[in-house]
Amino acid sequence: MPSMSKITTGAVLCVLDIAVLATLWPVATWLDRPASMSLFNVHGDVRGIVYPLCDLLLLFAMGLYRRDAILNLKQSLTRVPLVVGMGAALALLTSIFYGAAAAGSHAMGQRDQARVFALAVVTFTILAFLARMLVDVMVRRHVLRRRLLIIGTGQRAWELMLILGREGNSLHDDVTLVHDPSQPPIDARLAEERLDQIVRAPDFDIAAIAAEVRADLIIVAPDERRGMNLERLLDCKKAGYPVIDYLTFVEREIRRIDLKRIELGWLVYSEGFTFGPLDRFLKRAFDLVASVVALLLTAPLILGGMIAIRLGDPGPVLYRQERVTQDGRVFRIMKLRTMRVDAEARGAVWAAERDSRITRAGSFLRRSRIDELPQLVNILRGEMSFVGPRPERPVFVAELAAKLPLYNERHMVKAGLTGWAQINYPYGASIDDARSKLSYDLYYVKNFSILFDLVILLQTLRVVLWPTGVR
């Protein structure tokens, strides 16, 4: 199945969901009145459009197309009803707001519309369950496989094999490793564990090997590129085989930058790090409008949080602290206070797991993320954005910049209320954690776009509902 080998498992599941949702309302209408209704006779109930769209967005926002959800069938099946319920609630609110009964003068009345809506909800729940069970079977039987040809058998190739196993988009890869005798010896770990996947190529005829294994992609990952026969790789491209270098493949595959193998030349010559005037204008316009709306909607939550803090102890309800944002500028971030007033009597320290400085009310406010809501004021002022790297304290920035190359590059954009690192990596309080989060921050900065911001905002819902690593 050559066509399936190039499609990620998440994409297959998404296509199945779209197919179900696109036909959901006509099918539900036909099930309600099979004798008198055509299967393609779609009525004017606004829920027929809103409900499928809400469900699709929520499936994405809840992370149900991510690798971890696909590998955990139980997790997927438990989250589907939540998606269905939230989608139904949003569709009902929309129909009430717009007046679904008055959306068109059909023979179909409110009672009929309600019955069709209920049928659509039940039908999608069943079909969404079946789609996930089908994909689970396909994964376990290795139907969705990808054939990769990796040029190199050194440490870099070994690390690539580890990345594919832990974070790869495809849940099953058929990998062939090509050893060039002119390169250093085969990595001992590969020789021990992957010897049957290694092909020796004394004449470096990569195109012939690619044809033999029916490669979908050729990844150039030697430890040393000097002396490599580039004409042989060009032959592969002319034969129709995609050829990609290690760093670019890793970036696309795991959606972050590999800091261990980063090369400044690659950063300079690869695409990205472009911030046009239009992008900046749209981002700021969105921040302005959305922060005003969000402040109005969340004002009761902020007020409730303030009352809870004041009932717990007599200290101030708001906490202001210096943080670093775009171009290294320092600003005072606003949060609801979640720690004791004397929490930093001994100086600045990262929050620890089960930190004793956190108050009883503060624990709930942190888990629910309500303590972050006053930062909407920082966004309104232009000090922060909705999406961007997490703002750190100047003392921590100085420490991390001294130990982590390219750390200051994360300040090319404004600090954010949420971000690519925040939704992909739990809270960290060590240099290793900071390095991992930096790999996501650099990916965001390199690939910044308004569409990417919207994707991150959608997926923030998953983090809010199922917080991990909150401290």
Domain ranges of the chain: 4-140, 146-254, 277-342+351-465
Tally the C-alpha atoms within 13 A of residue 119's C-alpha that lie toward its C-beta: 19
Count, residues in the chain: 471
Give the Cα separation of 456 and 23 in Å (integer). Answer: 28
Q: Is 203 exposed, middle or buried (0-12, 13-18, 19+ CB in 10 A)?
A: exposed
Instruction: Please enumerate, as own/partner, the contacts of 188-196 that have beta carbons within 8 Å and a separation of 24 or more.
Output: 189/158, 190/153, 190/157, 190/158, 190/161, 194/161
User: Which pLDDT band, with edges at 50, 70 and 90, does 441 fall under?
Assistant: very high
> For 394-398, what is the mean pLDDT?
93
In which region does residue 52 sit, left (phi positive, over 0), alpha (psi from -120 to 50) or beta (all else)? Answer: alpha
For 347-389, write each residue's pLDDT tens digit: 666 665 666 788 888 888 888 889 999 999 999 999 999 999 9
What are the tokens at 462?
A: 């998953």
pTM confidence score:
0.84
Higher pLDDT, 432 or 98: 432
Give the Cα separation of 393 and 398 in Å (integer). Answer: 9
Residue 7: its pLDDT value, please?
66
What are the tokens at 83?
A: 């998606």
Positive or negative, the CA dihedral 127, 133, 137, 140 is positive
Residue 235's contacts (CB-CB under 8 Å, 6 or more residues apart) are 206, 207
Residue 354: its pLDDT value, please?
64
Mean pLDDT, the chain, whole residue set: 85
Question: What 3-state class would DSSP assign to 419?
Answer: coil
> For 222-249, what is the mean pLDDT?
89
For 263-314, write each residue's pLDDT tens digit: 777 787 788 888 888 888 999 999 999 999 999 999 999 999 999 998 888 8
> For 440-464, what is the mean pLDDT?
93
User: Which pLDDT band, with edges at 50, 70 and 90, does 67 fall under?
Assistant: confident
What are the tokens at 415?
A: 């600090």
Residue 127's contacts (CB-CB under 8 Å, 6 or more residues apart) are 20
CATH topology of domain 146-254: Rossmann fold (3.40.50)
Higher pLDDT, 47 or 188: 188
The amino acid at residue 94 is T
For 117-161, write each residue's pLDDT tens digit: 888 888 899 999 999 999 999 888 888 888 999 999 999 999 999
